[in-house]
Each structure stands twice: as C-alpha cells, then as structure tokens.
C-alpha cells in the first residue's frame, strides 16, 4: 500500500515542491534536512559554513561534512566546465547590488571589499579527515543553484534509503526524481516557457534522473533605470547581455540535479556552441531558448521528451 | 502547504487505507545485521588479540585488553566516513530501472474453471508535477 504525499514550502530563498510515495512522515525528515543544509550553505546566513569560508582570508575553517561535499562539487564544477561555471563571482554580484536576500530583507551578505572574483579554485585545500576547508585568500564561494541541485540529490537519495518508493523534489526548478513515479511509473516534468510561465515547451519523462533550468529572467533587481539579473559572465563579472542571439533559458537533463544545474548554467553563459559541446561530452541532454523565441535541442533531448 | 494526500492502491475489499510503519523492514533488518556484524567483528578481533597477548604476557595485560577493544576499534573509524566523493556528470535513465521478473507460474493442469473477481484498476494518483523553471 503506497501513499502519495506532496507538499510545497519555502526553502533556500525559493520554493521546494516535494513528493514522496511511501511513508508520509518522510516529508518531515526532508524538511529538517533541507533546513539544516540551508543553515550550512547560505551566503546570507552569517553563521553558515559558507560565510565562515568567505571571511576566512586563507585560514583553514572547520565545516560540516555536508559542506565538504558542497565545496568538492564547486571545485569540480569550475574545473570540469573550464571555468564557464564559476562559483567565485560573489563579490561582483554583491557590488552590482545583490547583497540582500530577496526573501528575507534582514539577511544581507557581508563581504570584505578587497576580495577577488573569477579566479580558479584549484588551490583550495579540502581535508576530509579533519573536515576543514582552506579557501585561497581573497576568494569566496556562492553555492547558488549548485547548492539547490545538490540538496535535491542528497535528500532524494536519503529518502529512498529510508524506504520511500518514489521521490520527486524540486528546489527552485532544480528537480531530482528517484524510484517509482506516479504516472505509469514515471515522473513527467513540464519545462516552462521563459516568455509565458504557464506555457509548456516540452514535458520530460524521467525515471531515475534530474532536470534543471537556468534563466536570465530569474532573480532580477533594479539599479536606477537598469534591470539587473544574477547570471554573470565569468570574464567580465557583469550580467549577461540580452541580445536576439543570446540564450535566455536553458534546461538540462542528467542523472543528478547538481550536474544538470551546472550544465544549464554553462549553456546560458557560453552559448549553444560551447555549451552544447560540453553537454554532449558529458552525455547529458539540453534545450536552449533564445531571446528571439527560437529554441535548439541537443542530440539526446528527444530521448526524454518523445 | 499540503497539496494532496491519498492512496493509489486499494485493499482487496475496495477500501483505502494508509500503511503506518515507523521503519521499513529492510532498514530494521539492515540495522540488526549491521549490529550483529559489528558485535561479531569486535568479539572475534578482541578474542584473537587477547589470545595472542596472553601467550606472551601476564594476566594484567589480559585484564586491560578485555576492557579496551570496543574503544580501540571505534577510534579507528574516521568521523567523516560518510562523505562520498563527488560524482561525475552522467545521463539520466531514459527507461525504467530493470525489474527482476517474477518466477513463472507452474504449468496449468486441466481443472475446473475458477471464477476470479478482478479488482478495478488502482486510481491514478492525483499529482501536480513541478515545472522546471529558472526561478533560482
């Protein structure tokens, strides 16, 4: 006998949508787990591991084991994408005006003014035995979407280990599905249009897998007459410019939400030529939507949307 | 916000009910078997150690060892043993996970027909799929 329970709640400055097929009490487990991850990983919460690292000035910082996992993914993601995915852009983002949380005005990112951005994380020292991280002096980390994707992966995996027959968790549109889904065993996931959010571009049928979308139109704020967004070029530290040929939304399907999120950002930042090359090399599937309304699919996209 | 709570299967009598279970039986079994394995390992390890030491030393060493083995073994387990190495990007499964087919039923033999009451199909779960958007 299986019970399907679905719940929507605020999470990580965004919205989580969690479905569990199995023991409904597992939703409570998931909520507690996500709250704990946010306390460790938020760049807005002064007591978090990430804030401690961002003010560490090259000193070794003892962090929670979950943060060790997070930092390893951040370092790997920057390296694997040739720094197209760059989690060191926080000083530039704050300077552009995104210091305050958009969901809690009391939370503000505090940074030293002498920090750098767009630098390699390869020199980061991670001591798993002692659970310490030493970030190169002058560098900071912004988990952003990677943190949300990784949180979805961790929670989905843990709920399955606790006996859930099926799990689907979305954190701000980064979605991880595992186990048996409610529709003929699958989890059909709609891909929303960047122009009209109620319009559906495609529906991806997932079994064990993940899907993530990045967009220029999320997390915007105004500075004077200019509308800014949070997707920055790792070369200039400035928001990507909106032009007819610019990708304004990209969606990637992979085994895990953390990598789907990373490569959806890569397609957005690098464009379809470089972005799809990386997506194909990793065996993932992607859909890119341009500012002029055109869209382009990678070779494997139809495997999930036919 | 609770959106929906429902069952998607029926009992043989056609009524729906939730199964309340504090812990999955497989987890209980795993905990028990893990406990037995640890206890067994500790017991065998300490027995071998005690035996080896006792051959060359006196009873004082033997007494000390009897109190020590649990602490010694646990001290060797790193506090971060649960941290898994990062994964690499990989494609999602495009088909359901393979399910081991059930054993074939025995060959039918000639017998009187049996009337079977076929239950109606389980109701489709009311599920609102989350859309993927770039709202992060």
Does residue B86 lie in a domain region? Answer: no
Residue B132 and residue A173 in contact, taking contact as beta carbons nearer than 8 Å = yes
Contact (CB<8Å) A189/B130: yes
Does residue B42 lie in a domain region? Answer: no
CB-based contact, A186 to chain B, within 8 Å: yes
pLDDT per residue as tens digits for the range B76-126: 444 445 677 899 999 999 888 765 554 555 554 555 655 555 544 444 458
Q: At what angle do helices A65-80 and A26-41 cross, to 10 degrees?
A: 70
Whole-model pTM: value is 0.77
Scanning every residue of chain A, which has its alpha carbon at the shortest distance from the alpha carbon of B90?
A: A255
* pLDDT attached to residue A114: 83
Write the DSSP symbol of residue A50. Answer: H
Contact (CB<8Å) A213/B91: no
Q: How far is A10 from chain B (nearest CA, A)?
A: 10
CB-based contact, A127 to chain B, within 8 Å: no
Domain count for chain B: 1
pLDDT per residue as tens digits for the range A103-124: 999 999 999 878 899 999 999 9
Q: Is A275 left (phi over 0), alpha (psi -120 to 50) or beta?
A: alpha
Contact (CB<8Å) A3/B18: yes
The Cα B92–Cα B99 span in angstroms is 17
* pLDDT attached to residue B112: 60
Which structural domain, as residue segments, surrounds residue B66?
47-77
Considering only CA atoms, which of B13, B31, B12, B33 is closest in space to residue B22? B31
Residue A274 and residue A173 in contact, taking contact as beta carbons nearer than 8 Å = no
Cα A270 from chain centre: 17
Mean of the per-residue pLDDT values of chain B: 55
Scanning every residue of chain B, which has its alpha carbon at the shortest distance from the alpha carbon of A302?
A: B94
Does residue B113 lie in a domain region? Answer: no
B100 vs A155 pLDDT, higher one? A155
Does residue B63 lie in a domain region? Answer: yes
Apex CA A214: angle with CA A213 and CA A218, to 5°? 120
CB-based contact, A59 to chain B, within 8 Å: no
pLDDT per residue as tens digits for the range A230-260: 899 999 999 998 888 999 999 999 999 999 9
Count Cβ–Cβ pairs < 8 Å, chain A vs chain B.
200
> Does A172 have pLDDT greater than 50?
yes
Q: How far is A69 from chain B (nearest CA, A)?
A: 7
Contact (CB<8Å) B136/A214: yes
pLDDT per residue as tens digits for the range A45-97: 999 999 999 999 999 999 999 999 999 999 999 999 999 999 999 999 999 99
Contacts of A206 in chain B (CB under 8 A): 92-93
* pLDDT attached to residue B32: 57
Does residue B73 lie in a domain region? Answer: yes
Average pLDDT in the A172-184 region?
Answer: 96
Contact (CB<8Å) A207/B4: no
Contact (CB<8Å) B136/A145: yes
- In A207-229, which positions are buried (b, 16+ CB within 10 angstroms) versus exposed (e)? bbbbbbbbbbbbbeeeeeeeebb
Does residue B51 lie in a domain region? Answer: yes
Does residue B95 lie in a domain region? Answer: no
* pLDDT attached to residue B104: 52
Does residue B69 lie in a domain region? Answer: yes
Of A69, A216, A254, the CB nearest to B89: A254
Q: Which of A30-44, A125-139, A216-230 has the lowest mean pLDDT?
A: A216-230
Q: How far is B126 from chain A (nearest CA, A)?
A: 8
Contact (CB<8Å) B131/A191: yes
The Cα A178–Cα A170 span in angstroms is 12
* pLDDT attached to residue A294: 96
Contact (CB<8Å) A208/B94: no
Contact (CB<8Å) B83/A283: no
Q: Which of A84-88, A145-149, A170-174, B123-127 has the lowest mean pLDDT?
A: B123-127
Longest CA–CA separation in chain B, Å: 79
Domains of chain A: 1-43+143-185 (no CATH), 44-141 (1.10.3980), 186-306 (3.10.520.10)
Average pLDDT in the A207-214 region?
Answer: 97
CB-based contact, A237 to chain B, within 8 Å: no
CB-based contact, A163 to chain B, within 8 Å: yes
CB-based contact, A28 to chain B, within 8 Å: no
């Amino acid at each position: 006998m299986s019970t399907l329970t679905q719940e929507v709640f605020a999470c990580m400055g965004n919205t989580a949508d969690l479905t569990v097929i199995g023991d409904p009490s597992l939703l409570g487990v998931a909520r507690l787990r996500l709250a704990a991850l946010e306390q460790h990983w938020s760049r807005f919460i002064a007591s978090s591991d990430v804030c401690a690292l961002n003010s560490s000035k090259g000193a070794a910082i003892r962090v929670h084991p979950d943060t060790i996992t997070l930092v390893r993914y951040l370092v790997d993601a920057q390296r694997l994408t040739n720094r197209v995915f760059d989690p060191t852009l926080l000083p530039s983002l704050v300077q552009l005006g995104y210091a305050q949380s958009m969901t809690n005005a009391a939370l503000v990112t505090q940074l030293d003014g002498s920090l750098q951005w767009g630098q390699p994380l390869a020199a980061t020292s991670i001591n798993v035995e002692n659970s310490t991280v030493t970030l190169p002096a002058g560098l900071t980390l912004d988990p952003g979407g990677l943190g949300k994707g990784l949180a979805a992966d961790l929670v989905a995996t843990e709920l399955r280990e606790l006996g859930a027959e099926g799990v689907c968790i979305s954190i701000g549109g980064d979605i991880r599905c595992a186990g048996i889904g409610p529709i003929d065993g699958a989890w059909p996931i709609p891909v929303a249009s960047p122009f009209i959010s109620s319009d559906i571009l495609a529906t991806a049928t997932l079994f064990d897998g993940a899907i993530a979308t990045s967009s220029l139109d999320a997390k915007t704020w105004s500075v004077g007459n200019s509308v800014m967004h949070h997707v920055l070029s790792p070369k200039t530290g400035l928001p990507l410019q909106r032009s007819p040929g610019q990708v304004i939304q990209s969606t990637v399907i992979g085994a895990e939400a953390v990598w789907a999120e990373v490569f959806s950002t890569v397609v957005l930042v690098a464009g379809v030529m470089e972005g799809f090359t990386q997506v194909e090399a990793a065996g993932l599937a992607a859909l890119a939507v341009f500012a002029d309304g055109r869209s382009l699919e990678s070779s494997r996209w139809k495997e999930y949307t036919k | 916000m609770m959106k929906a709570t429902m069952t998607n299967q029926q009992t043989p009598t056609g009524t729906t009910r939730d199964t309340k279970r504090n812990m999955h039986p497989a987890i209980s079994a795993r905990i028990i078997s893990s406990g037995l394995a640890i206890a067994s390992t500790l017991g065998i390890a300490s027995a071998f150690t005690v035996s080896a030491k006792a051959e060359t030393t006196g009873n004082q060493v033997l007494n000390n060892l009897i109190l020590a083995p649990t602490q010694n073994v646990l001290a060797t387990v790193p506090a971060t043993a649960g941290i898994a190495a990062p994964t690499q990007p990989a494609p999602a499964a495009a088909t359901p996970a393979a399910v081991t087919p059930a054993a074939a039923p025995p060959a039918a033999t000639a017998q009187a027909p049996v009337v079977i009451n076929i239950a109606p199909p389980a109701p489709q779960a009311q599920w609102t799929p989350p859309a993927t958007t770039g709202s992060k």
